[in-house]
Amino acid sequence: MRPDPGSTSQTWAHGLPPEISDAEVVRRVVAGESELFEILLRRHNQRVYRVARAVTGEDAQAEDLAQEAWVRAYQHLAEFEGRAQFSTWLTRIVLHEGWARVRKGRRFEPMPDETETSEEWMSPSPDPESRALSSEMREYLESAVDSIPEPYRVVLVLRDVEELSTAETAETLQLTENAVKVRLHRARGMVREQLAARVGEGARQAFPFLGKRCDEMVRNVMLRIQEL
C-alpha cells in the first residue's frame, strides 16, 4: 500500500505497528475492536476527501460526503472480502454515495463516446515569497480542476493527484483502461492552457486535508460509529 502523505502517525497509539495491513485492521474491527477504525480513517482520509471533492466540486459538500462515506464503510465493513485493496473498495463507496447525491440534485450530462484511442506541503522553512507562490499555484490548480466536468475531474484526481495507475483507476471506476486514458487525456486538454506542464508537478499540493480538518473528521466519524 502506498502511504498517504495526508495521514498522521496514529497507528502506534493503539499499540500496533505502523506496517499492519488494512486487511488485518478490518478483520480486527469486524471482530469487535471498533476503536481501530481510526487507523483506517487516518490512512485514507485524504483520498476520501479528495475523491469526494472531485465529485461535488465544493469543500463543505465534500466534507459531508466524506463523513457519510466513512460511516457507510464502517457499517458494511464485514462485506469487505479483500478481493480488491481496501482503498479501492473505500473509494468506490465514496463515488457511489457521491453519484447518488448528484443524481438527486441534477441530471447527468451525457458523456461523449470514449472508445477512441488515445498543515500544507512545503519546504521545512519556506521564505514568504515561496510560500505565497506555492499557495497561489495550488489555488490556481484547484480552480482549473474544478472547471472541468465531474467524470473527467474524478479521473484526473485519481491519476494525477492520488497517483493511481491506469489499471488501479480503471478498477476503482469500473471502466476500461482505454476509457481512463481517454478521459485523462481530455481532462488534461481542458485545463492545458491553465496548467500546461504543472499538472503533474503541482497536483500533489491540491486539495489538502490535513491537521485540524482531518482530526475533526476522524473525531466525528468515530463518535458516529460508537452510536451505531
43, part of any domain: yes
pLDDT in tens, the chain (228 residues): 344 444 444 445 566 777 889 999 999 999 999 999 999 999 999 999 999 999 998 888 999 999 999 999 999 999 998 888 999 999 999 999 998 887 776 543 444 444 443 333 233 444 444 444 456 667 777 888 888 899 999 999 999 889 999 999 999 999 999 999 999 999 888 877 665 545 455 556 666 676 777 888 888 898 998 888
Could you tell me the residue range of the domain that residue 18 belongs to?
1-110+208-228
Tell me, yes or no, whether 9 and 104 share the same domain: yes
Residue 176 placed within a domain: yes
pLDDT at residue number 201: 55
Q: Could you tell me if 134 and 195 lie in one domain?
A: yes
Compute the distance between CA of residue 224 and CA of residue 170 in angstroms, rounded to an integer: 32
Assess whether 46 and 65 both reside in one domain.
Answer: yes
Report the C-alpha gap between 92 and 54 in whole angstroms: 13
Grid cell at residue 52: 469526494
User: Quick one: 58 and 103 in the same domain?
Assistant: yes
Same domain membership, residue 185 and residue 72: no
Q: Provide the 10 A C-beta neighbour count for residue 155.
A: 29
pLDDT at 105: 67
Amino acid at 32: G
* Amino acid sitting at position 102: V
Residues 53 and 155 placed together within one structural domain of the fold: no
| Residues 6 or more apart in contact with residue 207 via CB below 8 angstroms | 49, 50, 53, 142, 157, 161
Report the CATH number at residue 132. Answer: 1.10.10.10
Query: Do residues 9 and 100 share a domain?
Result: yes
Distance CA 113, CA 41 (A): 37
Q: Say if residue 65 is in the same domain as residue 32.
A: yes
Q: What is the pTM of this model?
A: 0.68
| One domain, residues 89 and 147 | no
**Given this model, what pLDDT does residue 202 score?**
55
Does residue 151 fall inside a structural domain? yes
Shared-domain flag, residues 84 and 183? no
Query: What pLDDT is recorded for position 121?
Result: 26
Interval 80-104: pLDDT, tens = 988 889 999 999 999 999 988 877 7
Give CA torsion, residues 53, 55, 57, 60, to 10 deg.
Answer: -50
Q: The domain spanning residue 212 has which CATH number? A: 1.10.1740.10
Q: Could you report the per-residue pLDDT of 150-177, keeping only the tens digit for each?
A: 999 999 999 988 999 999 999 999 999 9
Please count the structural domains in the chain: 2
